[in-house]
Amino acid sequence: MKKLALGLITFMMIVSSCSKEDALNQDTILLKKYTSTMANGQIFTNTITYNENKIVDLTQQETGNKWVYTYTGNLITKVNVYNDIGTLTWTINYFYNNDNLVTIETVGSLAPTIIGRATYTHNSDSTINVVYSEVDSITNQETIRSWFSKYYFANGNLVKKESTDNNGSLYTGKNTY
C-alpha cells in the first residue's frame, strides 16, 4: 500500500506542478484514465473526474479506493483517501512556497500523525529533486528512505523521471498515460 501511496503522491506532484497561469482552453486534453504497472507486474487502472480543469476525485478500479481533492485557489492543498467502503484511510497535505510545491505529507487516519514526507527542491535548470522520508509516529523522527527522484520538464510538461537508491542503482517502473 505504501508503494501505491507513493506512486499517487508522485502523480499528485505532477498534477500540482502546473502554475496557476495555466489556463484550460479548447485544445486542452485532460487525463481521464491511466494505468500504473508496479515492479511486481500488478496493474492499477485509475479514473479521474474533473470540475472544469480541477480534479474532483480519482478512483482506482481494482481496489475501489478513492482520492478526493481540496483546493486553495488553483493549488491542490489536501487529498483525502478513502477505502472501498468509504472509510478515510489517510490524508495527503500539500505545502507551497510561491506556488512551488515544497512538501507533501501523508497523515494516517487512525493516529493522525505524519507517516510519510516528500520534500521537493526546484532547481534552476527546471528540474525538481525529490527526497522521500518516513516519520516515526511515536518519536516524530524522520528517516530518509533509500531512494530519490528527479523530474525533468519541457514546455511545462513532465518528460522524464529518474529514481535512484543510495547505491546509485536505477529503479525501474512504468506509467502509461
With cut-offs at 50, 70 and 90, classify the pLDDT of residue 177.
Answer: very low
Residue 63 has pLDDT above 90, yes or no: yes
Instruction: Please identify, in words, the CATH class of the domain defined by 2-19+46-176.
Output: mainly beta
Q: Which helix (H) or strand (E) holds 5?
A: helix 2-16
Task: Encode pLDDT of 70-86 as tens digits.
Answer: 999 999 999 999 999 99
Residue 55 has pLDDT above 90, yes or no: yes
pLDDT at residue number 170? 53
Which residues are within 8 A (CB) of 29 and not within 5 positions of it... i.e. 6 or more apart?
none
pLDDT at residue number 21? 44
* Chain position carrying cell 502546473: 18
In the numeric block, which cell numbers belong to residue 12? Answer: 499528485
CA 25 to chain CA mean position, Å = 25
> What is the pTM for the complete model shown?
0.72
Task: Encode pLDDT of 2-52 as tens digits.
Answer: 444 444 444 444 444 444 444 555 677 898 999 888 878 889 999 999 999
Specify the higher pLDDT residue, 110 or 73. 73
pLDDT at residue number 9? 45
Residue 157 has a CB neighbour count (10 Å cut-off) of 10
pLDDT at residue number 83? 95
Residue 125 has pLDDT above 70, yes or no: yes
Specify the higher pLDDT residue, 156 or 166. 156
Residue 168 has pLDDT above 80, yes or no: no
CA 153 to chain CA mean position, Å = 16
With cut-offs at 50, 70 and 90, classify the pLDDT of residue 167.
Answer: low
* Chain position carrying cell 493549488: 75
